[in-house]
Amino acid sequence: MIGVLILALFLFFFPSVISHQKSFAFFVLAFGALLLGPQTIARFEETGIKKFLALFRDLFTRNPFARFITRKVFFLLLALFLSLTLVFIIPYLMPVNPLDIIMSRLAARPGATPLQIETMYQRYNVLFGLDKSIIVQYGLFWKRVFTLNFGVSISFYPNTIMSLVLYALPWTLSLVIPIWILTFIVGNNLGGWAAFSKNKFIHTLYTIAVCLNTSPYYWFGLILVYIFAVKLRWFPSGGAYNPFLMVSLKPRFLLNVLYHYILPFLSLFITSVGNWCTGMRAMTIYERQSDYIFYSKQLGFTENKVRNYAQRNAILPQVTGLPIILSALIGQTLLVEYVFGWPGLGTLAYQAVTAIDYPMIQAIFLITVGLVLFGNFLVDIIYGFIDPRIRRGYVGG
């Protein structure tokens, strides 16, 4: 089942194989199937719809874990709905008609003739249905969301917005996801060690991490560029790959990308490690005073095992911080991409902003929000797995 899911995700990125709408629908179906489980699907085939619906209802009300998942799915859908509505409503809350703003800015550009402006105006009107009532526009908005068709980009005419965003997305994800996971692992370990040991080296590492955490990540990127790219000339100062190389999956190209990847990665990694340190250290200190640690020590456990116990228990609340860190990380990654000229969503957003390409901005926002909410959902589910108390339906404590 998970394989099917991954396949659907994979196919999503290759529009030549299957169209976006279809792969998106496929993805949703596969996900639903994963939730329900293969047994339910098999039973559905056997017994027919009424029994299936009853089973469905049982599944979701009896099993505490399924109830937990349902609650999370509900939250995900609600959040998606709210944020998309938000992004739809914002232009209408502005005192001025947003279309007029866009048009006035376009008019301010050199070489714009009144005829061009007029045609663009009409085109926008048709595309967004601005001549119709707001309810119809809202409906059109949702239609656009579900079919993932945002139209053509103004700044990169004639590329469709979707294709541009899909090209940029993997670049951003290649930074965000490894950093998200690695900083969690390293940061929490550092915090846990700092709580247990009196080693000076570990404590200095910890203090450095926390101090650097308060700096703007992109600024730290500038420092790294200055030291490593300008002064030492070890790494390139920008871009994702040498523009003279062909884009391909060959090792030569990949190595070149990796070479360009290191500085942005480091600037994000070193600064975000500190996010976890203080929290984990406080939690571990708190756990260290608990009764089971005392009892384990009395029973003769080694110091390492005791630390392991404390850390395993202390990390649970830390996991709940993952989604928030993810959303902050995405924001910061956009800025870092801008500094390094990394061709991800960040640079795309900057270009969209300077060209006042509002549909593009909207699309980037949607993708970002979708990513964050999905990550949030994933983390909630994973937490349900690792905390045995939730698995058994224990809600208190």
Partner 1 sequence: MTVLKITGEKKDKDLLLVKDLRGYYRGIFGVVHAVDGVSLQVGEGERVGVAGESGCGKSSFAQLITGTTTPLLHYESGEVRVDGYDIWNISPEVLRKKVKCELISYVPQAMLSSLNPIKKVKEFIADMFRERTGCSYSVKKVCEIATEHFERLNLDRSVLDLYPYELSGGMMQRSIIAISTMATPKLLITDEPTSALDVSSQKRVIKMMIDIQRKGIIKSFVCISHDLSALNQLCNRIVIMYAGEFVESGGNEDVIKHPLHPYTKALMDSLLPLERETKYKPLSSIPGVVPDLRNPPHGCRFRDRCEKRMEVCNVEDPPEIVKGKRMVKCWLYK
Partner 2 sequence: MSSRVTLLLKNRKFQFLLGIVIVIIMLGIIGPFFTRDPLKIAGRIYEPPSSQFLLGTDMAGRDVFAQLCNAIRDSLIVGFIAGFSAVGIAILIGAVLAYAGGVVDEGANVITNVFLVLPQLTILIVIASLLGKRSLIIVAILIALFNWPWMARSIRSQILSLKERKFVDLARISGKSDFVIVVKEILPNMLAYIFLVLIIGISSAVVIESGISVIGLGPTEGFTLGKMLNLVIRHEAAQQGKWWYFIPPGLILVIFTGSLLMITAVIDNVLNPRTREI
Residue 385 interacts with partner 1 (CB under 8 A)?
A: no
Asked if residue 121 binds partner 1 (CB under 8 A), the reply is no
Cα–Cα distance measured from residue 138 to residue 132, given in angstroms and rounded to the nearest whole number? 10
The answer to the question of residue 123 lying near partner 1 (CB under 8 A) is: no
Number of residues that bind partner 1 (CB under 8 A): 24
Give the tokens for residue 314: 């202390």
Residue 309: which of partner 1, partner 2, none does it interact with, CB under 5 to 8 A by kind?
Answer: partner 1
201 CB burial (10 A radius; 0-12, 13-18, 19+): exposed
- Which of 319, 200, 196, 217 is CA-nearest to residue 274? 217
Binding mask 91-130 for partner 2 (x = CB under 8 A): x--x-x-x--x-----------------------------
Alpha-helical (H) ranges within the chain are 2-12, 20-36, 38-47, 49-61, 64-93, 98-108, 114-128, 134-147, 161-196, 200-213, 217-224, 251-272, 274-288, 291-299, 303-319, 322-340, 345-354, 358-386, 388-391
Of 137, 163, 278, 290, which one interacts with partner 1 (CB under 8 A)? 290
* Residue 214: closest CA among 320, 322, 317, 332: 332
Among 33, 229, 262, 381, binds partner 2 (CB under 8 A): 229
**Which x/- pattern over 311-340 shows residues binding partner 1 (rule: CB under 8 A)?**
-xx--x------------------------
Q: Which is nearer to partner 1, 46 or 291 (CB)?
A: 291
Residue 46 contacts partner 1 per CB under 8 A: no
- What would the two tokens of residue 340 be? 């390094």
Query: In terms of CB distance, is 20 or 357 closer to partner 2?
Result: 357
Instruction: Specify the DSSP class assigned to residue 344.
Output: T
Residues forming the site for partner 2 (CB under 8 A): 75, 78-79, 82-83, 86-87, 90-91, 94, 96, 98, 101, 211-212, 214-216, 218-220, 222-223, 225-226, 229-231, 237-238, 282, 285, 289, 323-324, 327-328, 330-332, 334-335, 338-339, 349-350, 352-354, 356, 358, 361-362, 364-365, 368-369, 372-373, 376
